[in-house]
Amino acid sequence: MHDDVDERLAQRGAERAAKQQESDKRLKLILDNLFSYVALLDLEGRIREVNKAPLARGGYRYEDVIGRYFYDTPWWSYDTAVQSQLIQAIEAARRGRTSRYDVVVKMGEDLVPIDFQISPVYDRDGNICGMLPTAVDISERKRFETEASASAYTDALTGLPNRRTFHHHLQQVINGCEDSAEFAVLMMIDLDRFREANDNWGHDAGDALLKEAANRIWACVPDSDTVCRLGGDEFGVILNGRTDFSEINRISREILTSLSEEFVVVDDVTVSLSASMGLAVFPDDATTPSDLIRFADRAMYQAKSSGRGRFRFFTRFNNEGQDVRARLASDLRRAIAKEQLTVYYQPIADLATDRIAKAEALLRWKHPEYGFISPSSFIPIAEETGMIHQIGDWAFDQAALATKRWVGLAGQDFQISVNRSPVQFLPSAMEHGHWAERLTALGLPATNVSRRDHRKLDDERRPERQS
């Protein structure tokens, strides 16, 4: 009887073993057909099972890894830091915690990025009996992320940094120069008559021309500096940490010379172009990226209007530059409304009585970009455009109101001198000049305000422009 029981128990054990073996085969078949990397570890961290994917990818044999500590296999042993991180993850799984992170493992001669996870394995009684590491090759995902990141910061046509990178790097350069004696230079470069060449020879020729122009500019600029394509036929160059303007001039000439040479585009077509360049300097011209860009851009258009194929540094005021005069004329029309004009008063003391007897009214214009501009610069523009009447009347009103306030403090004979343009004495200006009536309305005698020809004042003491 005992023999029958033993026989039945042995048979059942054999059946269970056979079923387990069959189950293991099915599991192995499933694992081997997974693209993911899967292994099964015992509580000590040794490999009990592993599928074919990581073996095939790394060129390893099954018998080379079975029974080895997982962290000591070729996948991980190339880097002690990677091994240390894995050992910590194994210890966490042994305590019931799952770890997941991106890591690079060695597959043959390649280093492969994977999405790695290791989890505890439980038996039927809920006890941890092993660990299950799984991984997915994320090489394609990483490649896509890299390309997407590159496309966000790189111009697709030329391979140069794009406008987004340009703005970011310009700010970094400014930050780096703030506490040093060095300066930085922003160059804005525009190809002259590019649109004409693009229209004549087609977009393929235009693209080839832009790529070649990018290469030529890049070849003229030191490796420590930055060349960007800002869009269309416009390029930006950031020269960092300079102390010598002669180098800036040399680089500028080299770029323009290189761009003036013939371009060979599609079908052996040759195109001759030139370029115009504007330069702005940090911190001399501006201290913010937006101002540097605007000023360099303005200088570039000055170069174009001067005949193209040349470079110009930004200047805060160029009395002979018609484009600047036009800009000032436009801005001057809005200067009163924007409260950019101010009247300053220079006191004149009576030495005999040791008191302030007079004051001279001095008109100043604080332009938002050019800073303080001398009357000797903007009054001629006001005279040419006819704005002198409105500006003169406004300045007189300010002086009269100031006189009204100060007469009570300095005495009834206190006087303010106001400069008047000869244009305001012309017959056509009489309708603008009712200054006497304004004094009467304020209850002031005419002797409280004296009027002088501003040209005579300029001959006596020409104020210097402040920057």
Which pLDDT value is given to residue 461? 30
Name beta bridge partners: 113.
104
Nearest Cα residue to 225 out of 212, 214, 241: 241
Q: Is the pLDDT of residue 13 over 80?
A: no
Nearest Cα residue to 457 out of 357, 362, 355: 362
Higher local confidence (pLDDT), 229 or 373: 229
Nearest Cα residue to 242 out of 182, 283, 178: 182
Interval 133-162 mean pLDDT: 85
Q: Is the pLDDT of residue 143 over 80?
A: yes
Using DSSP's 3-state secondary structure scheme, residue 6 falls into helix
User: Taking the model in full, what pTM does it have?
Assistant: 0.47
Higher local confidence (pLDDT), 319 or 345: 345
Which pLDDT value is given to residue 426? 43
The H or E element that residue 230 is part of is: strand 226-231
Q: At what angle do helices 388-410 and 375-385 cross, to 10 degrees?
A: 130
Total length of the chain = 467
For residue 433 the two structure tokens come to: 């000049």
Nearest Cα residue to 409 out of 463, 467, 356, 341: 356
Which pLDDT value is given to residue 459? 32
- The pLDDT tens digits for 57-114 are 788 888 889 999 999 998 898 899 999 999 999 999 999 999 999 999 998 888 999 9
- The pLDDT tens digits for 288-306 are 999 999 999 888 888 887 7
For residue 83 the two structure tokens come to: 């091994």
Interval 20-45 mean pLDDT: 69
In this structure, of 1-5, 102-106, 224-228, the range with the lowest mean pLDDT score is 1-5
Q: Is the pLDDT of residue 431 over 60?
A: no
- The pLDDT tens digits for 38-53 are 899 999 999 999 888 7
As a whole-number percent, the residues of the chain with pLDDT over 90 amount to: 35
In this structure, of 128-142, 267-281, 380-394, the range with the lowest mean pLDDT score is 380-394
Place 176 in a pLDDT band, splitting at 50, 70 and 90: confident
Place 429 in a pLDDT band, splitting at 50, 70 and 90: very low
In this structure, of 56-65, 131-140, 456-465, the range with the lowest mean pLDDT score is 456-465
For residue 308 the two structure tokens come to: 């193209």
Q: Is the pLDDT of residue 158 over 50?
A: yes
Mean pLDDT score of the chain, rounded to an integer? 81
- Is the separation of the CB atoms in 131 and 94 below 8 Å? yes
Which pLDDT value is given to residue 453? 55
Q: At what angle do helices 245-260 and 203-220 cross, to 10 degrees?
A: 150
Interval 237-253 mean pLDDT: 91
Sign of dihedral through CA atoms 419, 424, 426, 432? negative
- The pLDDT tens digits for 178-191 are 877 789 999 999 99
Which pLDDT value is given to residue 197? 84
